[in-house]
Homo-oligomer: A and B are copies of this chain.
Amino acid sequence: MKIITVSREFASGGRELGKRLADALEIPCYDREIIDMVAEKHGFDRNYVANVSQSDIRAFYPSTIGRRFLVPHPAEQTPLKITFAQQSIIRQLASNGECVIIGRAADIILRDFNTMNIFVYADKMSKLARCKERAPKDEKLSDKEILRNMKQIDKERSNYHAVLSDTEWGDRKSYHLCVNTSGKNIKKLTAGLAEYVRLWFEE
């Protein structure tokens, strides 16, 4: 049963790679759909859910002082609920059948499943080029600003990971395969990757 998680540096093409991989394997891919599911199931606003998903959830988590839990302030409870709801939906999706799940620390959340965990990355210049290629026409950010945003988003991903696991986000040891997409055509890479994934699950 193929369950593949794709973690990725921002703008490395990880989402495209995950979607193409799912297509090649003829299994569903879950990405932003998870946000819709959380919003729908729990009656939260979609944008609010998307926003919480992207923020540094360490701020929302109950802290401990010595052995005493600090109960989160009521204003902090909704983000926590959203985080838990998202985790529960990810586990549900993986229980339902074969799939690719993009981001959302699915590699950690599904650690009891026999997932294949892929990390996708690229060099700074390739990521910058990808960002600029895909930016809305009226976006007027300098390269420096784009690079700063990229770094910030990766930092948030890393922080989210750190709340859930002692392993380090992006450390190759935490993944079964690390794919560098720098300067490469992701469509082409995916064809070879699909074969690798198929055989990986065969034994």
Contact = CB atoms under 8 A, between A and B. Distances in A.
Interface of A: 119, 121, 123, 170, 172-173, 175-180, 182, 184-185, 188-189, 191-193, 195-200, 202-203
A169 to B, nearest CB: 12
Contact of A202 (B177, B180, B188, B202): B188
A143 to B, nearest CB: 20
Contacts of A173: 121, 123, 180
Q: Counting chain B CB atoms within 10 Å of each CB, which of A121, A182, A195, A197 scores highest?
A: A195
Contact of A119 (B170, B172, B193): B172
Nearest to A190: B199
Total copies of this chain within the assembly: 2
Q: Counting chain B CB atoms within 10 Å of each CB, which of A119, A170, A180, A184 scores highest?
A: A180
A175 B185 contact: no
B203 A199 contact: no
Contact of A191 (B179, B180, B193, B195): B195
A171 B109 CA distance: 25
Q: Counting chain B CB atoms within 10 Å of each CB, which of A172, A185, A198 scores highest?
A: A172
Given A177-B178, A188-B199, A192-B197, 5 more contacts: A121-B173, A170-B172, A184-B200, A191-B195, A196-B196
B200 A192 contact: yes
A198 B203 contact: no
A196 B17 CA distance: 13
